[in-house]
Structure 1
C-alpha cells in the first residue's frame, strides 16, 4: 500500500499558478498591466473567463455578447491577451516536444497494464472518453481516477483536486472511501478535495462549466470527470427530428470541455454509453458509442471497455493520434481498478 497522503500534503503542483515564473496559463488579472481596465476584467470574470488565455481562445463574436463590452473593448482585450500569453504563433517541433515534456503529466488508472497501454495513464491537456456497456467499469475507473488524482505526481497522481460532474447519480462516497483506503489516501483528503456537481438537464452544463473554470483558476485541480456526457442529452432530445439539435448542443458542450483541458492543462475524462448499431450486418450484437461523429472527432482518446471473465475487463484504444491501437486487461475490485490477480 502506498504511503498515506494527508490533506496537508496536497501542495501546489508545477502546472498551476505560483509554482514557477512561467506557467501554462495567465490569470486574467495580468491584463490590467497591459492596459485593460479593472471594470472590464471583472465583466470577463462574471461571464466565466478567468484567464488571459481564455480571452485569446474565444472568438470576438462570442465575447461581444458579454453585457457592457463593445467590439473595440473586446478586440483590445484580445490584443492585450496576446502580449501576455504564448498561445498563438508558429513553433518548431522541438519547441512543441520540449513544452509537452515539461508541462504534460499522467494520472495512474490503478492498473499497470492499462497505464502502459496509455503510456503512463490518463494524460493532462486532452479529453479522454471511456465508453462501454453497463457494468464494464466506466464509473469504477472514473472513481479510481478521482482518488489517484489526489496523490503526488511522484506516485502517479495529479497532486490536485477533482471536479466530478454527475448526470447519472452514480457517484458514491462509500466507493470513494474504499478506493482511498486501497491507495493509502487519507479519507479526509478525498472528502475535502473531490467536488461533485449534479447534472439534471442540459441547462445545467453551462453554469457547471462556468463554476468549474472559476474553481480551477482559484485552486489546484488536476482532473475533471463528466459521468456521463450523453445520458441527459439522450433523454431531452428524442427521435431523428431532434437529432440535429442534439448534436449541436453536444458540440457546444464538448468544445467547452476541450478548451478547459487545453487552457488549464488538466485531465478531462468523459464516460459514454453504447447503443445498438442497426447498420452493421456482420454481427448479431453490434453496438456503437452514442454521440456519433461529433463526439468521436472532438475527444482526443477513446477507450472502449468490454467484459471479460468474472470481474476482468478489457480496455481497447479505439481512437488516438498519439497511441498505437491495442488492448489491456484489468480487474474490478473493492479498491477500484487493479491488475489481474495472477
Structure 2
C-alpha cells in the first residue's frame, strides 16, 4: 500500500521493506515503542541501528532533527556507530562526525539523575530539535536501586516506572517525538518451550489484547505483566526479541495499533541489523 504524507513525514524506518510496510512506515512520532527481550539478544544493537537510520534518513530529507540517547547501562559505543556506517553505508563515511554530532548521549547512573533528565526533556527536545528519544533501558536503574524485596519496594518501583511512563507519553504526544525504550527480561524457559518468559510484559493478557495468531499454547503460563498496567498501556508498539537457537534471533510484533502478528528472523553483523525475509511469518 502507499503511505500517506503524514505517515511518511512522521516515520522512522527500520531498514526492511516488509517490516516497515507492515508498520505503516516504521516507528512513528508521537508514540512509544518498546523492545523487550533477554540479555544479549540485541536490544542495544537495535537502538544504535535505529539511531543511525534516523539521522541518515532525516539528513537525506533535509530535516535537521537529532536523536536523544539515554543510556542507563553504559552500553553505548560510538565505535559501533562508526563500524555500522562504514560497513552498511560506506558512501557516508566522510560524514560520520556529523552524524555522531546529531546523537546527544546521556548516561544517568541513578534513579534521581534519570528523573532529572526526563523532567528536563521538554526544554532539551526544543533546544536540540529532538525527533527521536531512545532510552536503553527504562527499568534497569529502578531494578538496581529499588530491589523487589517487599510489597513496599514493589509499590515504590511501580510508582517510579509509572511516573517515567507518564512523562515519556506526554513528551511523545505533545512534542511529536518518536520514543524508543528497551526492557530487560530474564530467560527461564525449557528448550522445547516458547521463548517467552514470566517477567516479560509482552502482551496485555489481562485486557484481552492478544494479537491474531497468538494462542494460549503460544504463551503457556509464561506471560504475566512485569512493569504494571500503567506501563502496559503507555506502550503503543511492543517488539519481543528472542533467541531461536544459539545463533539466530527473532523479532515478534507483540503489540501494534496497525500491524498484525508477525515474526522476523534477524542477525547482527558489522553493518547492524540484518532481517532474513525468507524466514519471516505473518498472520
Q: Which of the residues 114, 117, 121 maps onto 2:19?
A: 114
> Is the aligned partner of 1:132 residue 2:37?
yes
Does the CA-based 8 Å contact 1:114-1:315 persist in structure 2? no
**Aligned counterparts of 2:64 and 2:43: Cα–Cα separation in 1:** 23
**Whose radius of gyration is greater, 1 or 2?**
1
Helix, strand or coil for the counterpart of 2:273?
Answer: strand
TM (normalized to structure 2)? 0.76
| Closer, same or farther: CA 103–324 of 1 in aligned 2, 3 Å | same
In 2: Cα distance, 1:338 partner to 1:159 partner = 27
Given that 2:185 and 2:197 are in contact with CA atoms closer than 8 Å, whether structure 1 keeps it comes out as no
Q: CA deviation at 1:274?
A: 0.8
CA contact (8 A) 1:114 1:329 kept: no
- Tell me the residue number matched to 2:215: none
Contact 1:275–1:288, Cα closer than 8 Å, also in 2: yes
Count the aligned residue pairs.
241
Task: Give the equivalent residue in structure 2 for 1:249.
Answer: 160
Question: Is it true that 1:298 corresponds to 2:203 in the alignment?
Answer: no
Backbone CA RMSD of aligned residues: 2.8
Mapped to 2, the partners of 1:107 and 1:285 lie a distance apart of: 27
Give the structure 1 partner of residue 263 of structure 2.
327
How far apart are the structure 1 equivalents of 2:102 and 2:59?
A: 19
Identify which of structures 1 and 2 has the higher relative contact order when contacts are C-alpha pairs closer than 8 Å and 6+ apart.
2
Aligned to 1:219: 128
> What is the match of residue 203 of structure 1?
112
The corresponding residue for 1:259 is: 170
Q: Tell me: CA distance 1:263–1:213, structure 2 relative to 1, closer, same or farther (3 Å).
A: same
- Consecutive unaligned residues in structure 2, runs of 5 or more: 201-225, 279-283
Q: Kindly provide the CA deviation profile for residues 226-273 of structure 1, in whole angstroms up to 9, marking residues without a partner as x.
A: 000011111111223210111011100011111111111111000001
Whether the 8 Å contact between 2:24 and 2:258 is mirrored in structure 1 is: no
Structure richer in strand, relative to its length: 2
CA displacement at 1:308 relative to structure 2 = 3.2
- How far the C-alpha of 1:286 sits from its partner, in A, is 3.7
Which ranges of structure 1 fall in alignment gaps of 5 or more residues? 1-97
